[in-house]
Structure 1
């Protein structure tokens, strides 16, 4: 399948070391599949030159956020920027570049071939510290119980969305949500979205420093950092409030007829 316009949306924080090379790699792999490819970077008030690294690149738009708010709100800002560009398909990926460019070709090919509302990239070979993997697994179990089925890699940042399906999710999710992809995964399962899963390689973050990643590289720690423990408590409370309790706003999402396949 050939697309008229593919928008790549990307939250970023202190990724100057690797983000431009990552975007170049993604562009090289996606361009043969589309008449037009655009990149929409939401910069979370980086303290390095991430916001300036694309000043001379025509197909990349960088929107610096008003304040530093963390990954979730920045991802939602990137999604909104992509929706405003009115593309045929929106692909989300984090700015730390933990995926291979070739897998974007596979993701879009699967999206076009299956008629899905969304294709999730399910990460193989994750290099995150054990406590991040454990947190993801625990959340995945919780979502499986709530959704009535298992959702592989419930918080994966690599996703290709049909814009009208994505808009339902973004509009129902508060702009300050810390774990929007968890909410999206659960709402998709409950609402009967056509979701496809594609196994992709997970590689280490591009760049040598740890300043661009919220939790660092682990650095041999045997226990999760205090900041991660605090984040996990906040995220679980948010999942209950927005997605799990009987009156939760994301429980009301229904897949529209015009998206049906």
Structure 2
């Protein structure tokens, strides 16, 4: 099996013992159906449940010694993917909000479209008003910064070639709160070849809502939770420091093409 046919799917997870077994099995079946070898890597962010043991029969599991939050855990998961030697690295969250077939489609599109990056653009999302407003504000800020509209700026479903991913990882702090927003900004600024693949967003597979700050599990969410407000303030401060005020790093462009591929 050639390196480009080997896919590493990296999965940050916190308290996802209920969701992971069926989700991992579905991902394996979907990649088998498209003829790709897949390595599943679960980065357990010091869960307080049995996330690691639930995932171990189906994936390589790395457990963090302390809980660091989603952003740092996603970056740690990407680092494991880079060490795997896979020709394609796919990121997806451990709450199972995507179908395995869509995850495989995103991975396959990276080569078929001759792209540097593939984003899974979520459709059918049922989010509280404040989450939609926050996403719209971030998308507008990215358009002002980069002159390019990114349909789903913080999507957790993404596929990268290792060289592209390494460049992006090198451009953000190790403890970044919102690495995917930083990635989207860098991709736009560097005029990388980005393909957008429409994927379905489904409810989280586990009933436990620990680890989320979006108000999941509540029957009615009227106002944004305080934890989310504090996180958003810290995230915007980080974007200002890293992407706006901070010096732009001199990155070598991966591709000479200026326009993103749409599909």
Which bin holds the TM-score, normalised by the shorter protein?
over 0.9
Measured in 1, the distance between the counterparts of 2:214 and 2:106 equals: 27
**RMSD (Å), alpha carbons:** 2.1
The corresponding residue for 1:117 is 116
Q: 1:255 aligns with which of 253, 256, 261?
A: 253
Contact 1:17 1:207 in 2 (8 A): yes
The corresponding residue for 1:238 is 238
- Give unmatched runs, 5+ long, in structure 2: 259-263
The corresponding residue for 1:31 is 32
Measured in 1, the distance between the counterparts of 2:215 and 2:6 equals: 35
Contact 1:5 1:34 in 2 (8 A): no
Instruction: Give TM-score, length-normalised by structure 1.
Output: 0.92
Measured in 2, the distance between the counterparts of 1:253 and 1:216 equals: 38
Which shifted more, 133-142 or 153-162? 133-142
The corresponding residue for 1:138 is 137
Contact 1:96 1:212 in 2 (8 A): no
Give the C-alpha shift of residue 193 in structure 1.
0.9
Give the C-alpha shift of residue 253 in structure 1.
2.9
- Give unmatched runs, 5+ long, in structure 1: none
The corresponding residue for 1:150 is 149
The corresponding residue for 1:185 is 184
Q: In 2 relative to 1, CA 232–161 (structure 1 residues): closer, same or farther, beyond 3 Å? A: same
> What is the total number of aligned residue pairs between the two structures?
256
For 1:6-85, list aligned pairs within 5 A.
6-57=7-58, 60-85=59-84
SS, match of residue 31 in structure 2: helix
SS, match of residue 235 in structure 2: helix
Contact 2:215 2:221 in 1 (8 A): no
SS, match of residue 25 in structure 1: helix
Give the C-alpha shift of residue 25 in structure 1.
0.6
Contact 2:192 2:254 in 1 (8 A): no
Q: In 2 relative to 1, CA 55–235 (structure 1 residues): closer, same or farther, beyond 3 Å? A: same
Q: In 2 relative to 1, CA 35–225 (structure 1 residues): closer, same or farther, beyond 3 Å? A: closer
The corresponding residue for 2:261 is none
Measured in 2, the distance between the counterparts of 1:104 and 1:253 equals: 29
Contact 2:215 2:225 in 1 (8 A): no
Give the C-alpha shift of residue 4 in structure 1.
2.5
Give the C-alpha shift of residue 216 in structure 1.
3.6
Give the C-alpha shift of residue 218 in structure 1.
5.8
Measured in 2, the distance between the counterparts of 1:181 and 1:188 equals: 10
Instruction: Give TM-score, length-normalised by structure 2.
Output: 0.91
SS, match of residue 188 in structure 1: helix
